[in-house]
């Protein structure tokens, strides 16, 4: 399994050229925020991602692709919770 630092870097890089911030909560779940570069504040916040489920490059790729698809269809400042998506 990848370290949290490596996982965060891969996820944040997956959203380029958008600015993305991946943080770790107290319960060790990940929160991903994608920011609009033209304004302050995040456009999209996704919480409750369990890093244990991101145990392969395919799982990470599927997460990023799914979040990018959700980002295109969501109103600004939408907060989403993962649940059992992966």
Residue pLDDT, tens place only, 13-72 = 999 988 899 999 999 999 999 986 666 655 788 999 999 999 999 999 999 999 888 877
- Give, as one character, the DSSP assignment of residue 78: E
Domain assignment present for residue 41? The answer is yes
Domain that holds residue 11: 4-73
Q: Which two tokens stand for residue 27?
A: 């319960």
> Is residue 84 predicted with pLDDT exceeding 70?
no
Q: Which two tokens stand for residue 80?
A: 């989403």
- Report the C-alpha gap between 21 and 35 in whole angstroms: 8
Sheet holding 78-81, edge to edge: 19-24, 30-35, 42-49, 78-81
Domain assignment present for residue 44? The answer is yes
Domain assignment present for residue 25? The answer is yes
Do 78 and 36 form a contact (C-beta atoms < 8 A)? no
- The confidence score (pLDDT) of residue 78 equals 45
Domain assignment present for residue 9? The answer is yes
Domain assignment present for residue 47? The answer is yes
Domain assignment present for residue 83? The answer is no
Domain assignment present for residue 84? The answer is no
Domain count, the chain: 1
Domain assignment present for residue 46? The answer is yes
- The confidence score (pLDDT) of residue 13 equals 95
- Determine how many CB atoms are found less than 10 A away from the CB of residue 38: 5
- Of the pLDDT bands very low, low, confident and very high (cuts 50, 70, 90), residue 4 is confident
């Amino acid at each position: 399994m990848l370290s949290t630092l490596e996982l965060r870097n891969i996820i944040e890089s997956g959203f380029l050229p958008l600015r993305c911030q991946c943080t770790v909560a107290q319960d060790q779940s990940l929160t991903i925020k994608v920011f609009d570069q033209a304004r302050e504040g995040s456009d999209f916040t996704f919480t409750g991602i369990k890093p244990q489920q991101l145990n392969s490059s395919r799982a990470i790729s599927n997460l990023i692709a799914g979040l990018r698809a959700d980002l295109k269809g969501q109103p600004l400042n939408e907060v989403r919770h993962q649940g059992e998506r992966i």
